[in-house]
């Protein structure tokens, strides 16, 4: 029987890519051990060298298989642990110092929008009572751009190649902020939204990590996506919207007694724990009745080569 190297590589890689997060969820593997799995990348070069030397011989399949194992373990470990692989390899790690600073502050006069586009670094967002906002951006290289008005702020990483690390600390007011949008690439996001009264909350994370705490605020509608990233989201109010993960992981913490309705797009490479949490399936909809007066959370959820965990042990 002739084994095609491409199919061998793909089969082993996708088996490990999906299997490792499942084993972590089942408690067989420790995600902390896998957090540095990406550091195995030099072995990938060794495997490719073996494959080139042995060429088209049957022994050459050994190099192909080894390359698939190394890449599959590294990628699966990144998915399971939420490690910022691209951030670390691309110079966006926490060891990259910033040496310049931008500061600004202002006041919203009516319902306002706050938006953030970060390409390398970290954004720390919090809320405070009143109508005043503030921004402190530490950066290296080109400065971020800040557009401001009486009803909006927009902070954005500089355009072009060679983007260096930026660390943003932002505070927005609970009285006026209604819409928040965060688009982060190779970055870490932390948002504490206590007292917020948001109509819409949008989050897109690519090759990064995000922790969003909306348990003490209102997030009317959420639109969250994770691509090669990990997102942890806490809700505390009536919420609708969508969650999606591609080659990533998503964790959702809900209030005690909340009524849940999740429309789930089932995929072979998408793992979840809704059955373990007592939700009842009817077609593609999973539901759980709530306690009297408890919030209702109604979400559309999808994923590819990803995991979704509802109310994980230890919280979000």
pLDDT in tens, 14-72: 677 666 666 665 666 666 555 555 555 566 556 556 655 655 555 556 666 766 676 66
**Stated pTM of the model:** 0.75
- Return d(Cα 185, Cα 207) in angstroms, integer: 6
The partner residues of 100 in beta bridges, in order of sequence, read: 139
pLDDT of 283 over the 70 cut: yes
What pLDDT was estimated at residue 95?
Answer: 44
Closest CA to 119 of 147, 84, 159, 79: 159
The pLDDT-based confidence of 165 (bands split at 50, 70, 90) is confident
Helix (H, G, I), strand (E, B) or coil at 4: coil
The more confidently predicted of residues 97 and 143 is 143
pLDDT exceeds cutoff 50 at 89? no
Question: What is d(CA 134, CA 279) in angstroms, rounded to the nearest whole number?
Answer: 42
- Cα–Cα distance, 31 to 41 (Å, whole number): 18
Query: Domain coordinates of the chain in residue numbers?
Result: 5-83, 100-310
- Distance between CA atoms of residues 151 and 107, nearest Å: 8
Nearest to 34 by CA among 81, 69, 85, 93: 81
H helices of the chain, in order, are 5-25, 31-34, 41-54, 60-81, 85-89
Average pLDDT, integer, range 141-168: 88
pLDDT of 87 strictly over 50? no
């Amino acid at each position: 029987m002739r084994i095609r190297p491409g199919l061998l590589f793909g089969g082993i890689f996708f088996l490990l890519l999906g299997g490792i997060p499942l084993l972590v969820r089942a408690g067989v593997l420790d995600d902390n051990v896998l957090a540095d799995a990406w550091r195995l990348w030099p072995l990938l070069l060794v495997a490719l060298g073996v494959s080139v030397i042995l060429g088209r011989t049957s022994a050459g399949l050994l190099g192909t298989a080894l390359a698939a194992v190394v890449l599959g373990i590294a990628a699966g470990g990144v998915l399971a642990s939420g490690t910022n692989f691209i951030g670390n390899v691309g110079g966006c790690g926490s060891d990259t110092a910033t040496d310049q600073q931008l500061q600004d502050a202002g006041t919203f006069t009516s319902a306002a929008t706050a938006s953030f586009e970060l390409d390398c670094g970290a954004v720390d967002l919090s809320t405070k009572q009143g109508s005043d906002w503030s921004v402190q951006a530490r950066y290296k290289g080109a400065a971020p751009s800040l557009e401001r008005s009486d009803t909006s702020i927009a902070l954005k990483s500089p355009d072009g190649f060679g983007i260096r690390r930026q660390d943003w600390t932002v505070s927005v007011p609970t009285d006026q902020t209604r819409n928040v949008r965060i688009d982060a690439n190779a970055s870490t996001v932390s948002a504490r939204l206590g007292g917020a009264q948001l109509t819409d909350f949008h989050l897109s994370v690519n090759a990064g990590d995000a922790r969003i705490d909306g348990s003490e605020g209102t997030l009317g509608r959420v639109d969250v996506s994770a691509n090669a990233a990990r997102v942890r989201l806490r809700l505390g109010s009536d919420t609708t919207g969508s969650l999606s993960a591609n080659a990533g992981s998503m964790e959702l913490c809900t209030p005690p007694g909340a009524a849940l309705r999740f429309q789930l797009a089932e995929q072979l490479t998408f793992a979840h724990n809704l059955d373990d949490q007592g939700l009842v399936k009817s077609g593609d909809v999973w539901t759980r009745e709530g306690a009297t007066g408890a919030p209702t959370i109604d979400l559309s959820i999808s994923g590819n080569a990803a995991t979704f965990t509802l109310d994980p042990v230890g919280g979000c």
